[in-house]
Amino acid sequence: MFQAYQPYSAYMTPEHCHTLFSRLRAANPAPTTELRHHSPFELLIAVILSAQATDKSVNQATTTLFAHANTPQAILNLGEVGLKPYIRTIGLFNSKARHIIQTCAQLIEHHGGAVPHDRAALEALPGVGRKTANVILNMAFGEPTVAVDTHIFRLANRTGLAPGATPLAVERGLMACIPAEFLANAHHWLILHGRYICTARQPHCASCCIADLCLYPDKTAAHV
């Protein structure tokens, strides 16, 4: 769930945006998701499971699940009842199990068992919304998309990078301000920075490589 946020009317300049992403790239030249997967399908299932759950908990569940079933047909063969024991430790596992089984059936019926490279087709899958579709398009197919989760939503508003009252507004703002050379990896840099540095309750401004660019008025420590 996204925290209610009233964005302040402060925006980074294009020059600051370029510097920000240059620093994030220098700190982490080859970022990737922390969700473990070996195929677009495994990524899709992991992202569906990750809603309101930690990547660590998802990885613990999918390590066992994917060892037994890592294709649409194999998971469909488990059935909803057979799938639940594998994901029982993840929040909302009942509804997620239902959505995953329905998604596997649709992949087999409409897409030959493959994950579609199409936003509309992805969003038509049960349990898949815009954020999940953006992750799949970016990671599985190399599309320049940004999936706005709670971390990116907070970071974009707090820093002044792309203030917006809704995830879609933030996504559009980010797509407009991120220089093209950084778009392929921008999602990963932002989510990792929001997860570990620009945290919700108390951002770690003293160890932030972009603190001097950030427009947040209530920084937790002095910066250069």
Average pLDDT for 108-114: 97
| Residue-wise pLDDT tens digits, 209-224 | 999 999 998 888 654 3
The active-site residue out of 55, 131, 212, 218 is 131
According to CATH, the topology of domain 40-141 is: Endonuclease III; domain 1 (1.10.340)
User: What is 14-31+145-207's CATH number, 1.10.1670.10, 3.20.20.110, 1.10.760.10, 1.20.120.80?
Assistant: 1.10.1670.10
The active-site residue out of 56, 149, 212, 219 is 149
- For the chain, what are the domain ranges? 14-31+145-207, 40-141
d(CA 5, CA 181): 29
Kindly report the three-state secondary structure assignment for every residue of the chain. CCCCCCCCCCCCCHHHHHHHHHHHHHHCCCCCCCCCCCCHHHHHHHHHHHCCCCHHHHHHHHHHHHHHCCCHHHHHHHHHHHHHHHHCCCCCHHHHHHHHHHHHHHHHHHHCCCCCCCHHHHHCCCCCCHHHHHHHHHHHHCCCCCCCCHHHHHHHHHHCCCCCCCHHHHHHHHHHHCCHHHHHHHHHHHHHHHHHCCCCCCCCHHHCCCCCCCCCCCCCCCCC
149 is catalytic: yes
Confidence (pTM)? 0.87
| Residue-wise pLDDT tens digits, 153-197 | 999 999 999 999 999 999 999 999 999 999 999 999 999 999 999
Q: Does 198 show up as a binding residue in the annotation? A: yes
d(CA 205, CA 31): 21
56 is catalytic: no
Q: Does 209 show up as a binding residue in the annotation? A: no
